[in-house]
Amino acid sequence: MQLLDGKGTAQSIKDELKEKVAQIKAEGGKVPHLAAVLVGNDGASQTYVNAKVKACEQIGFGSTLIHLSEETSEAEVLATVQKLNDDPEIDGFIVQVPLPKQIDEQKVVEAILPNKDVDGFHPVNLGKMLLGIPTLLPATPKGMMLLLERNGIETSGKHCVVIGRSNTVGTPISVLMSRNGNPGNATVTLCHSRTKNLAEITKQADILIVAIGKEGFVSADMVKEGATVIDVGIHRVPSDQTKSGFKLKGDVKFDEVAPKCEFITPVPGGVGPMTIASLLWNTYLTSQKLV
């Protein structure tokens, strides 16, 4: 069993970006600037947004955090999006989801300028992805692709089983894994809550990607010997062993599944840091007008 080290891979990507920033500065250019909009006080969301700001600081990107109250109206969020669209200083931005219930997420996503949409959630970017036109790819699936690529994991001709069909994770990763490219060229099966005999299917996976949102859902009996397992799930579970009072766990029962795997991502230190690295990479791409 080998750990797929998302934290380390993300660090090497951040190191590369740091060098690019130094080069841009040396040439008198404008450093990339990422903004994040956070609405409300969800603890986990605050942690992720803070991690993004910290990562920007580490590599020399500019960063802006716009924190709006839980009661913010949809019109106010849309006005904030418009301001960021129009601000030449901002190369890319994200609006953290989930949003409070009075705000229509789809409306907000569609208001973001596609070439500032570093989350890759806008219909124009998802449409281009589907057609194989170079564009800003959704950050978590892109992070998984980078993780596979940078760790030399062969995907061509492999059976990749994805559990979960969300617009932000499961559906786009199934598209990217099946397309003609490297990584890619896998034979993909996309599973969801209506899938019958799920374990029968997951046991056929050479590469199993799990994005369900249920802690410890995947057990050892669902995984083939020698598989590669990528765990997207992230959950805070209460723990008296940590200062914060919680521990992070994935959708996979790591302790029992890991011994069967050739490669497996840990939680924390797996897909999460790669998502952040991809956001930064996307911001670099938009700032240099490379997409």
Ligand X SMILES: NC(=O)C1=CN([C@@H]2O[C@H](COP(=O)(O)OP(=O)(O)OC[C@H]3O[C@@H](n4cnc5c(N)ncnc54)[C@H](OP(=O)(O)O)[C@@H]3O)[C@@H](O)[C@H]2O)C=CC1
Ligand Y SMILES: Nc1nc(=O)c2c([nH]1)NC[C@@H]1CN(c3ccc(C(=O)N[C@@H](CCC(=O)O)C(=O)O)cc3)C=[N+]21
- Please identify which of the residues 5, 117, 119, 231 carries the catalytic annotation: 119
Contact with ligand X (CB under 6 A): which of 140, 228, 282, 286? 140
- How far separated are the first and last CA of the chain, in Å rounded? 37
Residue list 71-130, contact with ligand Y (CB under 6 A)? 94-97, 119
- Provide the 8-state DSSP code for 117: B
Closest to 192 measured CA to CA, from 219, 174, 215: 174
Residue 198: CB minimum distance to ligand X, A: 6
Whole-number Å distance between alpha carbons of 36 and 205:
36
Rounded CA-CA distance 62/83 in Å is 17
What gap in Å lies between CA 118 and CA 17, rounded to an integer? Answer: 15
Residue 264 contacts ligand Y per CB under 6 A: no
Residues sharing a CB contact under 8 Å with residue 36, sequence separation 6 or more, in sequence order = 49, 52, 53, 63, 64, 65, 66, 93, 94, 95, 96
Residue among 193 and 197 whose Cβ is closer to ligand X: 193
Distance CA 92, CA 35 (A): 6
Which range in 72-80, 81-89, 263-271, 282-290 contacts ligand Y by CB under 6 A? 263-271
Determine the length of the chain: 291
Nearer to ligand X, 12 or 73 (CB): 12
15 CB burial (10 A radius; 0-12, 13-18, 19+): exposed
Size of the site for ligand X (CB under 6 A): 24
- Interface of this chain with ligand Y, residues 39 to 78, rule: CB under 6 A: 47-48, 51
Annotated binding-site residue? 166: yes
Q: Name which of residues 192 to 231 contact ligand Y (CB under 6 A).
A: none
Per CB under 6 A, the list member of 138, 164, 172, 266 interacting with ligand X is: 164
Q: Which of 275, 283, 286, 287 binds ligand Y (CB under 6 A)?
A: 275
Distance CA 61, CA 53 (A): 9
Q: How far apart are CA 286 and CA 162, in angstroms?
A: 29
Q: Which does 166 bind (CB under 5 to 8 A by kind): ligand Y, ligand X, none?
A: ligand X
Between 165 and 224, name the residue whose CB sits nearer to ligand X: 165
Q: The tokens of 54 are what? A: 């910290």
Q: Which of 212, 267, 277, 280 binds ligand Y (CB under 6 A)?
A: 267
Among residues 273, 281, 282, 283, the one that binds ligand Y under rule CB under 6 A? 273
Rounded to the nearest 10°, the torsion over CA 223, 224, 230, 234 is 10
Q: Has 96 been annotated as catalytic? A: yes
Q: From ligand X, ligand Y, none, which one binds at residue 268 (CB under 5 to 8 Å depending on kind)?
A: ligand Y
Task: Point out which span in 13-21, 57-65, 69-77, 227-235 binds ligand X (CB under 6 A).
Answer: 227-235
Residues in contact with ligand X by the rule CB under 6 A = 140, 163-166, 168-170, 191-195, 198, 211-214, 232-234, 271-272, 275
Catalytic residues: 52, 96, 119
Which residue positions form the known binding site for NADP(+)? 164-166, 234
